[in-house]
Amino acid sequence: MQVLHSLEQLRAWRQQVNGSLALVPTMGNLHEGHLKLVDLAQQQADHVIVSIFVNPLQFAANEDLDRYPRSFAADCQALAARGAAAVFAPTVADVYPRGLSQQSFIEVPGISTILCGASRPGHFRGVATIVAKLFNMVQPDSAVFGEKDFQQLQVIRLMSTDLSLPIRIIGMPTERADDGLALSSRNGYLTPVERQQAPILFALLQQIAGQLQAGCAIEPLLTEAEQQLQQAGFRLDYLTVRRRSDLDKPQSADRELIILVAAYLGNTRLIDNLAVNR
């Protein structure tokens, strides 16, 4: 497995690649969910490259950029064992040579300012910009993303369509622990007690999904679920049911829905979602 630290190294390697190439963009500190993305990518292409870059453009000033967990050596070892062809781990100077304040950016209107975008202004602008840059740098045929970050996935899909990018965007169902908690690098911030409480989040999504399938009205379900979360010790950011295609509020005729939640447990912000057909 090649480890590439500069754009020059990446481009030299890319010229030598024969066959199709799939990209798995990550911020490192890899867990089994990331590695399952690599497995899926290998089914889509002849070669897989994984990017590891903690992107400062998607963190606000009060967020956890400095303490975001980094485990580069262990990440490379895991990726080599999984059969990745290369790792691209550029520096901030390589990615943003004129500095963050002078960087051109990409913003996907509408969807970028709701839900997580409302709670984290500028976050999806940072996501869209770095993903577009990685697409330009790596020139993959396909790219694989996890559905745990469902809003992010939809932002990337819309961006790729809007910019006519010749890259197939593939979403992979959320990888979960045995107790249902969605795997996330931020789960490491949870205390042992909080880690035992955290699976309540997904259990509640399952409960709402079952009630929606039974024909219950959305708003009363959400009101009850919000109370349950608060009683369980969560501090709610949002809990909502949206149309799956564009995350707009569903109309009565819409059947393909998704339940989305973001909530704090202690100091850790957890997100999750569950698709449901009404």
pLDDT score of 68: 85
Kindly tell me if the per-residue pLDDT of 62 is higher than 80: no
pLDDT tens for residues 117-162? 999 999 999 999 999 999 999 999 999 999 999 999 999 999 999 9
Which residues share a beta bridge with 4?
Answer: 88
For the chain, domains (ranges, CATH) are 2-172 (3.40.50.620), 185-273 (3.30.1300.10)
> What is the helix (H) or strand (E) element at residue 87, kind and residue range?
strand 86-88
Joined tokens for residue 184: 């996330």
**3-state DSSP call for residue 89?**
coil
pLDDT score of 13: 98
**3-state DSSP call for residue 25?**
strand
Average predicted confidence (pLDDT) for the chain: 95
Kindly tell me if the per-residue pLDDT of 247 is higher than 90: yes
Give me the helices (H) in the chain, please: 7-16, 32-44, 72-81, 92-95, 116-119, 123-138, 150-162, 192-197, 200-213, 218-231
pLDDT score of 227: 96
DSSP class of residue 57 equals G
Cα–Cα dist 238/129, whole Å: 25
Catalytic (active-site) positions? 34
- Please report which confidence band the pLDDT of residue 163 belongs to, taking 50, 70 and 90 as the band edges: very high
Mean pLDDT, range 49-72, rounded to an integer: 89
Which residues share a beta bridge with 261?
Answer: 239, 272
The dihedral through the CA atoms of 122, 125, 131, 136 has a sign that is negative
DSSP class of residue 176 equals B
pLDDT score of 122: 94
Cα–Cα dist 42/21, whole Å: 9
pLDDT tens for residues 184-201? 988 999 999 999 999 999
Question: Nearest 5 degrees, angle CA 181-CA 182-CA 188?
Answer: 80
- Please report which confidence band the pLDDT of residue 60 belongs to, taking 50, 70 and 90 as the band edges: confident
Kindly tell me if the per-residue pLDDT of 67 is higher than 90: no
Mean pLDDT, range 243-252, rounded to an integer: 92
- Please report which confidence band the pLDDT of residue 226 belongs to, taking 50, 70 and 90 as the band edges: very high
Nearest-Å Rg of the Cα atoms of the chain is 19
Joined tokens for residue 181: 């908690």
Q: What percent of the chain has pLDDT over 70?
A: 100
- Please report which confidence band the pLDDT of residue 69 belongs to, taking 50, 70 and 90 as the band edges: confident
- 187-212 as b/e, with b when 16 or more CB fall inside 10 Å? bebbeeebbebbbbbbebbebbbebb
Cα–Cα dist 203/179, whole Å: 9
Measured CA distances, 269 to 70, 246, 261, 263 (Å): 18, 23, 10, 6
Nearest to 5 by CA among 59, 46, 51, 42: 51
